[in-house]
């Protein structure tokens, strides 16, 4: 019996040891600045639906904190992989007074079919216009980068469009919407000033490798030099050959290169590159509210303003990649070793009991 317990303890110790090599999210708990816009209580009875978390936050800045607003895709979900709304969500879209969407390529791949199938075009307000507000991204084969909301100058236009539509639908609350718009526009102006100050003091010319090309416009405003994107495009990964190319590219640089990750996308390749090149990691998000959902202690990154502020802070306070991360192949070896060890031990126990 003692030998049996000894074997069981050995298995338990081995499992605990192996578990420590499983990748953990890189979490820094030092950002606790309360930069969130102060939302007014809502005065409107409009039923509002938004496609993703970006228009959700912009609309609630104008409609008020307790307005009836639902986002089809929440802030923790990768918008590129979301397959479509539930039947209940579609019913809410049908019942809504207005539906705000980004209207940019790749952000809402499911939306067009839902709008057409349910005859919702009359309720749609598309905030983005990549052809007018976007410009060519060298890391996307010079196609226009769709993440135009990462430019606060563009967001100012989106907020005005949102305000005008809400006034059109609920003119009795025109003064309320206009006051909220004025407050948010002022916050965005302050944000742009902060971006320019940081560019001059900290960032101009800093070299970056991103795991996803979502921060193009913000990096451009900050004067950052993006060397490469681990993903070949917004919807796919480049593969291991590209990872090796990026490692070689970083090692050719005389200056330090920063790796930028985001919680909606896998950071495995970025961590591998950072460890191989002794680079640091900055975790950022292009979707507001994501840290609010993840409940990371003192984080207060619940809206657009604080999201951009956090991105800037993270760039100024990068961290080392987690040392306890191992590639997926090695993880499979560990799991397989656990299984083999358990089988051998149990076989040995049964054999001894049969003697």
Q: What is the pLDDT of residues 220-239, one digit of tens each?
A: 999 999 999 998 644 445 56
Residue ending a domain, among 158, 189, 220, is: 189
The C-alpha R_g of the chain, in whole angstroms, comes to 24
Q: Is residue 197 one of the residues assigned to a domain?
A: no
pLDDT score of 59:
97
Q: Is residue 287 one of the residues assigned to a domain?
A: yes
pLDDT tops 70 at residue 12? no
Rounded distance, CA 98 to CA 139, Å? Answer: 35
What does DSSP assign to residue 21? T
Q: Which of 152, 120, 104 is nearest to 49 (CA)?
A: 120
Residue ending a domain, among 189, 223, 255, is: 189
217 and 144 in one domain? no
pLDDT score of 264:
80
CA 166 to chain centroid = 28
The burial class, CB within 10 Å (0-12 / 13-18 / 19+), for 330 is exposed
Number of domains within the chain: 2
177 and 221 in one domain? no
Find the mean pLDDT for residues 294-306.
67
The burial class, CB within 10 Å (0-12 / 13-18 / 19+), for 110 is middle
- Residues 6 or more apart in contact with residue 160 via CB below 8 angstroms: 181, 185
pLDDT tops 90 at residue 156? yes
179 and 52 in one domain? yes
pLDDT tops 80 at residue 293? no
176 and 256 in one domain? no
Structure tokens at 36: 């969130």
157 and 81 in one domain? yes
Q: Is residue 98 one of the residues assigned to a domain?
A: yes
pLDDT by residue (tens digit) across 55-90?
999 999 999 978 999 999 988 788 888 999 999 999
How far lies 131's CA from each of 103, 128, 163, 185, 214, in Å?
11, 9, 22, 23, 17
213 and 106 in one domain? no
pLDDT tops 50 at residue 33? no
221 and 145 in one domain? no
How far lies 103's CA from each of 37, 71, 130, in Å?
25, 15, 8
Q: Which residue has the tokens 């984080």?
A: 299
Burial 75-90 (b: 16+ CB within 10 A, else e): bbbebbebeebeeebb
223 and 175 in one domain? no
Q: Is residue 3 one of the residues assigned to a domain?
A: no
Indicate which CATH number applies to the domain containing 224. Answer: 3.40.50.1980
154 and 60 in one domain? yes
For the residues of 268-293, what is the DSSP string, one character each? HHHHHHHHHHT-EEEE--SSTTHHHH
Give all strands (DSSP E) within the chain, no chain letters: 47-50, 68-71, 98-101, 124-126, 207-210, 225-229, 257-261, 280-283
* Domain limits for position 113: 46-189
């Amino acid at each position: 019996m003692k030998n049996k317990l000894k074997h069981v303890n050995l298995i338990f110790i081995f499992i605990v040891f192996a578990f420590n090599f499983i990748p953990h999210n890189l979490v820094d708990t030092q950002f606790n600045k309360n930069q969130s816009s102060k939302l007014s209580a809502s005065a409107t009875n409009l039923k509002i639906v938004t496609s993703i978390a970006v228009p959700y936050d912009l609309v609630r800045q104008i409609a008020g904190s307790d307005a009836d607003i639902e986002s089809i895709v929440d802030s923790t979900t990768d918008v590129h992989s979301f397959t479509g709304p539930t039947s209940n969500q579609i019913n809410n879209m049908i019942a809504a007074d207005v539906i705000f969407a980004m209207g940019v390529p790749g952000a809402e791949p499911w939306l067009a079919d839902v709008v057409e199938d349910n005859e919702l075009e009359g309720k749609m307000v598309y905030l983005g216009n990549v052809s007018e507000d976007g410009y060519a991204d060298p890391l996307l084969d010079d196609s226009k980068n769709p993440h135009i909301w990462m430019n606060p100058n563009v967001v100012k236009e989106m907020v005005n469009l949102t305000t005008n539509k809400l006034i059109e639908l609920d003119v009795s609350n025109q003064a309320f919407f206009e006051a909220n718009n004025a407050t948010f526009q002022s916050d965005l102006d302050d944000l742009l000033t902060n971006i320019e100050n940081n560019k001059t003091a900290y960032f101009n010319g800093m070299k970056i490798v991103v795991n996803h090309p979502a921060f193009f416009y913000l990096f451009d405003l900050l004067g950052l030099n993006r060397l490469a994107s681990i993903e070949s495009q917004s919807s796919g990964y480049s593969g291991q050959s590209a990872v090796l190319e990026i490692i070689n590219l970083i090692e050719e640089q005389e200056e330090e290169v920063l790796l930028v990750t985001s919680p909606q996308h896998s950071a495995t390749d970025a961590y591998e590159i950072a460890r191989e090149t002794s680079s640091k990691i900055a975790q950022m998000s292009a979707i507001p509210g994501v840290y609010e959902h993840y409940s990371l202690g003192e984080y207060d990154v619940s809206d657009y303003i604080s999201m951009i502020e956090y991105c800037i802070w993270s760039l100024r306070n990068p961290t080392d990649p987690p040392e306890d991360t191992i590639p997926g192949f090695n993880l499979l070896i560990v799991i397989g070793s656990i299984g083999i060890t358990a089988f051998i031990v149990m076989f040995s126990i049964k054999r001894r009991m049969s003697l």
